Amino acid sequence: MEKSKAQNPKKRKSLSLVSAIIIFVLAIGFQQVKEYYYAALGPMDGVNPVTVNVVIPPATATPEIGDILFENGLIKHPFIFKYRVKKRAVDNQLKAGVYTLSTGMDLNSIIDNLTKGVKDLNTVRFTIPEGYEIQQVADKLEREGLVNKERFLELVSDKNNFQDKYEFLRELDKQSLEGFLFPSTYEIFVGSKEEDIIEKMLNEFEKIYNKDIKHSLDKFDLSLNEAVTLASIVEREGKLDSERPIMSAVFHNRLKKGMALQSCATVQYILGERKEDLSTEDTSIESPFNTYIYSGLPPTPIASPGKASIVAALNPEDVDYLFFVLTGEDGSHTFSITYEEHLRAKNKK
């Protein structure tokens, strides 16, 4: 015991020395990291700066922008660029475009330029509203001078034109891309080809597919085509996002009972116009898309559904409704379980 006690002061002295060394090394390391960080905020060459033209493509994420700047010799480290952008809370404000930057600019100046954007982005934006059919998409893009309509329609008429690049398209039968050109606002380079624009829209659908569709299909024993077809009907029938899950439930309940969906939107698709009041003649048209005379889902989607309708199609409300009718000026519907209730709701319109 006395020997151990005699050694304790030495051990404590040894441990203190080791701790001091560790603290010293960490302090030096921290100081070096700090110096490196502040050095990385500075310009690449403040003495003999050169001008660099750099292209930031539309929809490029911050890490990829950092890589582009680094590869063009404008910043010292992509990670510090990403960190600085996040620290300044401008992650979603970096704009696409063709920039003229300089190696004499510090990191913050470069970030300032990217958040302000450039007057001539050499890009153009277009918006495809939710519920648009392929023909409407083609018409709109042609009016805006972005596509040759005939070429665009030829490309989207067969999913096989793009299935090599998009795995989800291989799940479909031989059909067009109706329903799969995701409705959103896009930014493209001026002069982009029809293929580029179509792939932009398919890229967005792929994101929704991976996040909201892929792992939910088995819940209802639906194929991808069936899920998007149902979503397209919900999209065209619904006015309010809050009602879409209830509307989805109505169609799910009808499918379970073997009832015809009786969706006006499917008949409007056949007619090629948004005719609000359908005649008996309209609802008697011979077509596999006529859900008044054929039960089950139509063979393919009837429009491009937005995310709310896609999510609703695969997440119906837990209700027993079988009918709905538009009754509110705000686009709201009255939902009913029995046909008698449905008739009363219709008569109150």
Q: 243-276: buried (b, 16+ CB within 10 Å) or exposed (e) per residue? A: bbbbbbbbbbbbbeeebebbbbbbbbbbeeeeee
- The pLDDT value recorded for residue 1 is 39
By C-alpha distance, which of 343, 319, 306 is closest to 247?
319
| Residue pLDDT tens, the chain, 349 long | 344 444 455 555 455 655 655 655 555 566 676 777 888 889 998 888 898 889 888 888 999 999 999 999 999 999 999 999 999 999 889 988 888 899 999 999 999 999 988 765 577 889 999 999 999 999 999 999 999 999 999 999 999 999 999 999 999 999 999 999 999 999 888 888 999 999 999 999 999 999 999 999 988 999 999 999 999 999 999 999 999 999 999 999 999 999 999 999 999 999 988 877 888 898 999 999 999 999 999 999 999 999 999 999 999 999 999 999 999 989 999 999 999 999 998 887 6
By C-alpha distance, which of 342, 311, 157, 154 is closest to 234?
311
- The pLDDT value recorded for residue 28 is 58
User: 3-state class of 334 per DSSP?
Assistant: strand
| CATH entry 3.30.1490 includes domain 124-213 | yes
* CATH number, domain 51-116, options 3.30.930.10, 3.30.420.40, 3.30.1490.480, 3.40.50.970: 3.30.1490.480
Tokens (6 digits) for 101: 């930057």
Confirm if 166 and 288 have CB atoms less than 8 A apart: no
By C-alpha distance, which of 254, 241, 246 is closest to 308?
241
- The pLDDT value recorded for residue 5 is 45
pTM: 0.68
In whole angstroms, give the CA distance from residue 95 to residue 106.
Answer: 18
Q: Is the dihedral of CA 325, 328, 331, 332 positive or negative?
A: negative
Tell me if 51-116 shares its fold with 124-213.
Answer: yes
- The pLDDT value recorded for residue 3 is 41
- The pLDDT value recorded for residue 6 is 47
57 Cβ contact list (under 8 Å, min separation 6): 96, 189
User: 3-state class of 326 per DSSP?
Assistant: strand
In whole angstroms, give the CA distance from residue 22 to residue 122.
Answer: 55
Tokens (6 digits) for 178: 């109706």
Cα diameter, the chain: 109
Q: What's the Cα-to-Cα distance from 5 to each of 12, 17, 257, 301, rounded to whole Å?
A: 11, 19, 87, 85
Domain ranges of the chain: 51-116, 124-213, 218-347
Alpha helix ranges (H) inside 117-193: 134-143, 149-156
